[in-house]
Amino acid sequence: MQTPVPDYLHEVLDTLREDTSGETAQYIPELANADPAPFALSVTTATGSTYCAGDTDTPFSIQSISKPFAYAAAIIDRGLDRVLESIGVEPSGEAFNELSLEDGTNRPKNPMINAGAIAAHSLLVGQDATGEARVQRVLDMFSSLAGRELQIDEDVYRSELITADHNFSMAHMLRNYGILADDAHEVVSGYTKQCSILVTVNDLSMMAATLANGGVQPVTHEKIIDENTARQVMSVMAVAGMYDGAGDWLTRVGIPAKSGVSGGLVGVLPDQVGIAAFSPRLDSHGNSQRSRRAFERLSTDMDMHLF
């Protein structure tokens, strides 16, 4: 069946390609040296049809886009009440790498910032899980969500671990406050592997479409996430997925979303679509510049704003 959607997506990419502002993430050597040129866009419906354009075969590390999906896994593995004991659901209003702990409880304010995502990773599988089991858990889950077997980019992992002192120091603070029970280095190492899982825009739009579809993968029909957990994850994406730019994003674009420092951006419209964009140059908030603009276009042109 012919559809005008791919032509439209190509047009969006062609219009925005001339925007070469921003630069690749500089604090991770392997990402700093990444090719800044690729640009891709993918939309997967909750019924499993994917429309895409641009460099859709280019793999990149998932980075912070792993956080909502790992949060879902932690809730499935430990229950929402246990996860809420360790991680809040409030916007931090600060950058992704600030500690942003809640007064009184010392919980990281939400699971989208690094501190909250490190805590979420530590909750995977079960109380006495090994570091390897936690990494395998996210790799298996992300593979089910994408509908194909994903892999870890060992070069990105090693490169990021060498410069991970900031995350190590936050993990030690979390241990100090009793939020992290496990070895700080082992948890950060596992979290960094989680961030180094390689995906394409089509993988990400399929993963997002699974959330949009209430946790059922639209092509394999596997129920990966229960409906309440999918709702919890999409709610937190709306509140905090774009960090200190979350309010501006939700009012302007109106799509619960999550960005990553390698240049990916995913959005979810409940019961409708998962959307993903990829372009490695980042704006001052650490979000992909062209991907952000592509989402703004889609939201306006297709009236995707939730409200």
Report the residue number, 107 or 292, with the smaller CB distance to ligand DON. Answer: 292
**What residue number has its CB nearest to ligand DON?**
64
Instruction: Mark the segment that binds ligand DON (CB under 6 A) among 16-24, 179-187, 216-224, 255-263.
Output: 255-263
Task: Compute the CA torsion angle 19, 24, 26, 30 (nearest 10 deg).
Answer: -160
51 annotated to a ligand binding site: no
- Tell me if residue 41 falls in helix, strand or coil: strand
Binding-site member from 286, 293, 297, 304 for ligand DON (CB under 6 A): 286
Q: Which of residues 109-138 bind ligand DON (CB under 6 A)?
A: 114
Binding-site member from 259, 272, 279, 299 for ligand DON (CB under 6 A): 259
Instruction: Kindly state the smallest distance separating residue 307's Cβ from ligand DON, in Å.
Output: 24
**What is the distance in angstroms between the CA of the first residue and the CA of the last residue of the chain?**
31
Name the pairing type of β-strands 273-278 and 257-259: unpaired
Q: How far apart are CA 184 and CA 61, in angstroms?
A: 22
Instruction: Kindly state the smallest distance separating residue 264's Cβ from ligand DON, in Å.
Output: 8
Cα–Cα nearest to 252, from 208, 206, 299:
299
Contact string 142-181 vs ligand DON (x = CB under 6 A)? ------------------x------x--------------
Examine residue 96 and tell whether it contacts ligand DON (CB under 6 A): yes
Q: Which of residues 63-82 bind ligand DON (CB under 6 A)?
A: 63-64
Q: How far apart are CA 95 and CA 104, in angstroms?
A: 21
167 annotated to a ligand binding site: yes
Residue with tokens 């896994």: 73
98 annotated to a ligand binding site: no
In one letter, which amino acid is 7? D
Q: How far apart are CA 279 and CA 76, in angstroms?
A: 32
Cβ-Cβ contacts under 8 Å for 276 (sequence gap 6 or more): 41, 42, 43, 201, 202, 203, 204, 205, 208, 264, 265, 266, 267
In the numeric block, which tokens belong to residue 14? 């062609």
Q: Which of residues 188-227 bind ligand DON (CB under 6 A)?
A: 195
Ramachandran class of 104: left when φ > 0, alpha when ψ lies in -120 to 50, beta otherwise? left
Feature table: binding site for substrate: 64, 114, 160, 167, 191, 243, 261
Can you give the binding site for ligand DON, defined by CB under 6 A?
63-64, 96-97, 114, 160, 167, 195, 259-261, 286-287
| Residues contributing to the annotated binding site | 64, 114, 160, 167, 191, 243, 261
